[in-house]
Copies of this chain bind each other. A is one copy, B any other.
Amino acid sequence: MTTAPRTPNPERTSPAQFEVLVPPPADGSTRARLGRLTLPHGVVETPQFMPVGTNATVKALDPHDIREVGATIILSNTYHLYLRPGHKRIEALGGLHKFMAWDGPILTDSGGFQVVSLGDLRKIDEGGVTFQSHIDGSYHRFTPELSMEVQESLGADIAVHFDQPVPPASTAASALAESTARSDRWALRSLQAHSRPDQALFGIIQGGRDPELRAESTRVIAGLPFDGICIGGLAGDETPTQREDTLDVVVNLLESDPRPRYLMGLGTPVDLLEAVHRGVDMFDCVLPARVARTGQLWVPGGRLNLRNARFVDDPRPVQEGCRCLLCTNFSRAYLAHLFRAEELLAYRLATCHNLTFTLDFMAEIRSALRTGTFTARLPELRSAASPSRSRALAVQSE
């Protein structure tokens, strides 16, 4: 590439204003911090979790439900919306916010994760990724420039750079180095192609679990005028320890960086807690909603499988004291019946609960940070999280 990176424009006011309200304590007991991210469509308190609205809808919910579960920002998928209904169509209809009737903040991913995950259906070269649609097999090509064009058409508050994540299965060192270097080069092209002034652009750090590659990618991405920093290539097939070691490499280097940090694709509440503890501000994951649709309901310290026979006579709410649409109106017995009868209402009620559980857990974390009790409350928060600690699942996108 002969182009140089976009230089920070002193005239430019970032559309993503991030403020650290409570920094990590000086005693080094945690890197967790309380923050506030102000975006064109609203304010996001951090640490924060973003429900995923793949096809311009958080599966089974309407926008009122999304507000009610406590979401203040959602993620939507560039790859899916590009293929169907098409970004130009959404732009002509007034943009993604209007299309899906969600007037709060939205972040779009770049499509990188999806097209790289297509396996045999995609081919990567320096220019971009050629792939076949999972819907109809038609051929398409994503480049950093096209990803920016698509994301600008969609008009989310935050776009992210078109990167090349390493596939979740373990990857040879040489392939990892190559893909990380290419991803970093695509960061420049993404920045240069991006022009929409009312849309923030976040860069994505790659580098797998290799500390040197990860550190190098961190330095490259942090050296560019992005509005925020994503940590990619995790929430895959790594162990929690591998993930935490990698996070430490990244956050060590970002310690004095003023921008928000977003770990892509995580996870269970306890995974979120541990990542917050290591300095992460933002998350997204399909997991709470996806497992809800299979009848797995999250409760403090565990989960209930509503397909289990013991619930069909249980008059109690799924979670005593939960403020969600499910728990304030219906019994475990009723939800168990709906799942058995394959009634559509089951999927909505269960999704409302798991997202409320996740978002209320994040609110509890923020409350502990606000009062300076996060470190002291870590054991309690760990046992309140659900489900128990487990290997992360490769559920970044559906």
Contact = CB atoms under 8 A, between A and B. Distances in A.
Interface of A: 55-57, 59-63, 84-85, 89, 92-94, 99-101, 312-313, 315, 325, 329-331, 333-334, 336-338, 340-341, 343-345, 347-349
B57 A331 contact: no
A331 B100 CA distance: 9
Cβ-closest 6 pairs across A and B: A60-B344, A55-B341, A101-B329, A85-B337, A57-B345, A57-B343
A318 B57 CA distance: 18
A344 to B, nearest CB: 4
Contacts of A94: 315
Q: Max chain B CB contacts within 10 Å: which of A62, A315, A340?
A: A62
Given A85-B312, A340-B84, A61 B345 contact: yes
Contacts of A345: 57, 59-62
Contacts of A343: 55, 57, 59
- Give the number of times this chain occurs in the complex, counting copies: 2
A56 B329 CA distance: 14
A84 B344 contact: no
Contact of A315 (B93, B329, B331, B337): B93
Contact of A63 (B57, B62, B329): B329
Contact of A341 (B84, B336, B337): B84
Nearest to A344: B60
A344 B349 CA distance: 12
Contacts of A338: 55, 57
A325 to B, nearest CB: 7
Contacts of A55: 337-338, 341, 343
A227 to B, nearest CB: 29
B344 A62 contact: no
Given A330-B101, A345-B57, A84 B313 contact: no
